[in-house]
A and B are shown apart, each in its own frame.
Chain A
């Protein structure tokens, strides 16, 4: 049996969707830009980054984990929401060690692209300069923990044919970090390493020896601004 259809509004415009459809998916299909970092279309959402926070009937909710429901009034933008998103980005920048000028992901990085979009010049929070490590022991992949925003995209999507994830969290609290499963590490192919590097929204996962192959001006967000999948900037 098909799920019931729900009727709701986004930014004052009426939309219909199957019950259970997440707000972010409706917005994406309708060409409405809501910024995301941890969300991946078609993959179960985790609400890890909170970049997609929207106003739902006056309350702030994550658009990626909130299903649309009848009568819902969603607002995707307001001065308060924009400032909140900017603050989230700023927290990410000060919490890690993000050095865009020398990062090989520069120009292809979702975090950097959003920072440009939100015109972040100087964060309002003090830099933490955490001591983080680089793990390059895997022959195909480098993990640079300085740049990891703990979005779990790699854990949720990079899996073998049996559905076993190559990545997992280890440690707790502020020391938590991504690790490559020891037993799975030997199964990592070039293709899987490439998939992991591509799915990472920052430069935390890097294919070995592949850096800087794309020349400046040819990189992803130099061609199309973030939030403009069809080449139309929705800002």
Chain B
């Protein structure tokens, strides 16, 4: 079957997706594609800039998770300035960065669950979009909405004391950080009145996990059966197998739990992960080189992380992790909507880590930067809220960036999101010729479970600029729908 859809690039925009669904003569879905039509160009325009600008420059990729880019770039530059990978920094620098990162995970996960995902769960996928949004959540369950806002605020304020400001700070510099956390800054949180203290946040995170578990009990068929397909899973883990979102080695498991990437040093990532380019999307398709393009694709993000790690090194999250593993009989969990469950367990883990870090006197240490023998190449990898994030830089003899390669979480999840769309489309559309709003939203829910960057700002207002096109074998458009109604 051949048909061609032309999409003009929409540049520098947050959140533009386009789905095409191909039908055969009998009206059966044969192929679905999620097109990401954004073009950013960061890899190109950082070339020539002084290398130490990278953490501040590339974080402008995103307003939701800039800290992840900031830190991934800083970690790559740690290698370049000879501070080693992950463990070469001073205790103060590493812990300030960890606090910044876990605060980011905390606020981003809270944002996604409370603002973006909860409307679908509270009202149902097929509810009227006029109420299926964060304002609707606030009307129905004010407490839940307030929790979401306050948890985000908690994370953002922690980012402020570590990075200098809440969005697009400058805290991480090559070889360390430019500030520690003063005792006064720390006490804003440790001695803060509830809910702005870590104990209250741990409690709320536990409640969020309970909320999902309760919802799961009542809606098991929807959550479990919505979109399930076998896949590989990839993430960083600590060398002992523990979940570590700041630093570790690369591990991947297949859908049965067999380890297919054995704790690889990420400085060698390019030997094990390759990227495929497809003509219809600006987003590349990474895959595990040994397995090839067809079988080597994988998921990243909360679901993948809980599938790859051996344990979670904080007690409350570990208990939930054990329950999570039980759900899928100890094997990797391949159910798309269980990503929400995994994300909330990570939310709890982040709250626990933050509590431990805030009580650590190393945060007030004076040694901020370490440097060693300079190198011309460095790779930084971090577990961003949405998944594994790679930053790879090469510099010239004059300290200018000569090459940059960024593989962001949403890119890793490109193939899985396409698969998820396909699964949902086949179930909802086969034999039908009209696109309805509930069907449109079901596709959105499948994409949204991955919390891709393309859904960032706009969906928070209840509108994800998503367009779905149904195409016959001869290329004629059967039906086209945009978020908010059939066009």
Is the contact region of chain B dominated by helix, strand, or loop, or is it mixed? loop
Q: Chain A residue with minimal CB distance to B54?
A: A102
Question: Which bucket holds chain B's interface residue count?
Answer: 20 to 34
B53→A102 contact, CB < 8 A:
yes
B178→A208 contact, CB < 8 A:
no
Q: Chain B residue with minimal CB distance to A104?
A: B53
Give chain A interface residues in 195-235, CB to chain B under 8 Å. 206, 208-209, 211-218
A134→B399 contact, CB < 8 A:
no
Contact partners of A104 in chain B: CB under 8 A: 52-53, 56
From B60, B163, B168, B173, contact of A211 by CB (8 A): B173
From A136, A209, A216, A218, contact of B174 by CB (8 A): A209
Give chain B interface residues in 39-61, CB to chain A under 8 Å. 48-50, 52-53, 55-57, 60
Mark A145-177 against chain B: 1 for CB-CB distance below 8 A, else 0: 000000000000000000000000000000000
From A134, A212, A215, contact of B48 by CB (8 A): A134
CB distance from B379 to the nearest CB of A (A): 20
**Contacts A136-B399, A208-B399, A209-B399 given; does A216 touch B164 at CB 8 Å:** yes
- Residue among B48, B170, B179, B400 with the most chain A CB within 10 A? B170
A211→B49 contact, CB < 8 A:
no
A208→B50 contact, CB < 8 A:
yes
Q: Is B373 an interface residue (CB 8 A)?
A: no
Is the contact region of chain A dominated by helix, strand, or loop, or is it mixed? loop
Contact partners of B164 in chain A: CB under 8 A: 215-217
Q: Is A41 an interface residue (CB 8 A)?
A: no
Contact partners of A208 in chain B: CB under 8 A: 50, 399
Contact partners of A109 in chain B: CB under 8 A: none
Contact partners of B174 in chain A: CB under 8 A: 209
Contact partners of A134 in chain B: CB under 8 A: 48-50, 400
Between A and B, how many residue pairs show CB distances below 8 Å? Answer: 52
B48→A216 contact, CB < 8 A:
no
Complex alpha-carbon distance, A134 and B170, angstroms = 22
- Residue among A102, A213, A218 with the most chain B CB within 10 A? A102
A212→B178 contact, CB < 8 A:
yes
B52→A212 contact, CB < 8 A:
yes
- Residue among A142, A214, A215, A218 with the most chain B CB within 10 A? A215
**Contacts A101-B60, A134-B400, A136-B399 given; does A209 touch B178 at CB 8 Å:** no
**Contacts A134-B400, A217-B164 given; does A212 touch B57 at CB 8 Å:** no
Complex alpha-carbon distance, A104 and B400, angstroms = 15
Interface residue count on the A side (C-beta < 8 Å): 18
A102→B399 contact, CB < 8 A:
no
Contact partners of A1 in chain B: CB under 8 A: none
Complex alpha-carbon distance, A213 and B173, angstroms = 7
- Residue among B53, B55, B165, B171 with the most chain A CB within 10 A? B53
B165→A212 contact, CB < 8 A:
no
Complex alpha-carbon distance, A4 and B398, angstroms = 54
Q: Is B313 an interface residue (CB 8 A)?
A: no
Give chain B interface residues in 141-161, CB to chain A under 8 Å. none
Mark B176-187 against chain A: 1 for CB-CB distance below 8 A, else 0: 001100000000
B173→A136 contact, CB < 8 A:
no
Contact partners of A216 in chain B: CB under 8 A: 163-165, 169-170
Q: Chain A residue with minimal CB distance to B46?
A: A102
Q: Is A137 an interface residue (CB 8 A)?
A: yes
From B48, B50, B53, B398, contact of A137 by CB (8 A): B398
Complex alpha-carbon distance, A25 and B282, angstroms = 58
A209→B52 contact, CB < 8 A:
yes
A211→B398 contact, CB < 8 A:
no
Complex alpha-carbon distance, A211 and B399, angstroms = 13
- Residue among A136, A211, A212 with the most chain B CB within 10 A? A212
CB distance from B46 to the nearest CB of A (A): 10
Q: Chain B residue with minimal CB distance to A209?
A: B52
CB distance from A224 to the nearest CB of B (A): 18
Contact partners of A215 in chain B: CB under 8 A: 164, 170-171, 178-179
CB distance from B86 to the nearest CB of A (A): 20
B50→A142 contact, CB < 8 A:
yes
Complex alpha-carbon distance, A213 and B177, angstroms = 8
Q: Chain B residue with minimal CB distance to A217?
A: B164
CB distance from B444 to the nearest CB of A (A): 32
- Residue among A104, A134, A211, A218 with the most chain B CB within 10 A? A211
Q: Chain A residue with minimal CB distance to B55?
A: A212
The 9 closest A-B pairs by CB, nearest first: A216-B164, A136-B398, A215-B179, A211-B52, A212-B170, A102-B57, A215-B178, A215-B164, A212-B173
Residues of A within 8 A of B (CB): 101-102, 104, 134, 136-137, 142, 206, 208-209, 211-218
Additional A-B contact list (16), CB under 8 Å, known A209-B399, A211-B53, A212-B178:
A101-B60, A101-B168, A104-B52, A134-B50, A134-B400, A137-B398, A142-B399, A209-B81, A209-B174, A211-B50, A212-B52, A212-B55, A212-B56, A215-B164, A215-B178, A215-B179
What are 10 A-B residue pairs whose CB atoms fall within 8 Å in the complex? Answer: A102-B53, A102-B56, A102-B57, A137-B398, A142-B399, A209-B81, A209-B399, A211-B53, A215-B179, A216-B164
